[in-house]
Chain A
């Protein structure tokens, strides 16, 4: 079967750094997305990785290791507005997205 695992919930402090992990087992791999979803809103695109390594975009970075079936999203200098769910999604062999259940990130002052 196909499976994407993320922690259900994480808590971090404003100004700190947090790493959200995602592990996947899929039939085929054509890339991995991270999306942010605030409560009651639509998911919005954060990052896309298809090659191994780190992609940096401002305060957010995303890392991929295809051999380990592993990715993480790194958020630096956390702000209260970063409180949201973070969704990991893998493009499988049929080019359809397989979604993790998401990680709810709670930021405390």
Chain B
């Protein structure tokens, strides 16, 4: 059992390019989340999904989109990458969307040049 996997591990991307970060969990968790982590700042929520088929905007959603076609997968797409999107991206999941513990994937380190 892998828990949560993310791909790619790292990526260097030219500005203006489209990029999808993949996230898959095998814990049958209902809720999934995408965060970005930047030096000196706390984790910031980009988008979330409380259950398959639904998504919501977090604190910093601009420039990002998500989909939740099934329970296991929650891809994050950057439609047209900009240098300010250089960050470490973490996917997380929890059994439910209220007070349950969130479990994190290993992260994707993205550099936009």
Contact = CB atoms under 8 A, between A and B. Distances in A.
Would you call the interface of chain B mostly helix, strand, loop, or mixed?
A: loop
Interface residues of A, number: 22
A93 B37 CA distance: 22
Nearest to B42: A99
B27 to A, nearest CB: 13
Nearest to B99: A31
Contact of B104 (A43, A50, A102): A43
A48 B94 CA distance: 14
A100 B99 CA distance: 17
Given A4-B42, A42-B106, A101-B41, A30 B101 contact: no
Nearest to B43: A99
A107 B105 CA distance: 26
Nearest to B50: A95
Interface residues of B, number: 19
A91 interface: yes
A42 B99 contact: no
Contacts of B45: 96-97
A43 B43 contact: yes
Interface of B: 40-45, 48, 58, 90, 97-99, 101-107
Which of A43, A98, A100 has the most chain B CB within a 10 Å cutoff?
A43
A43 B92 CA distance: 10
B41 A30 contact: no
Contact of A33 (B58, B98, B101): B101
A91 B103 CA distance: 15
Contacts of B103: 45
Which of B40, B43, B98, B107 has the most chain A CB within a 10 Å cutoff?
B43
Contacts of B102: 33, 45, 97
A102 B38 CA distance: 11
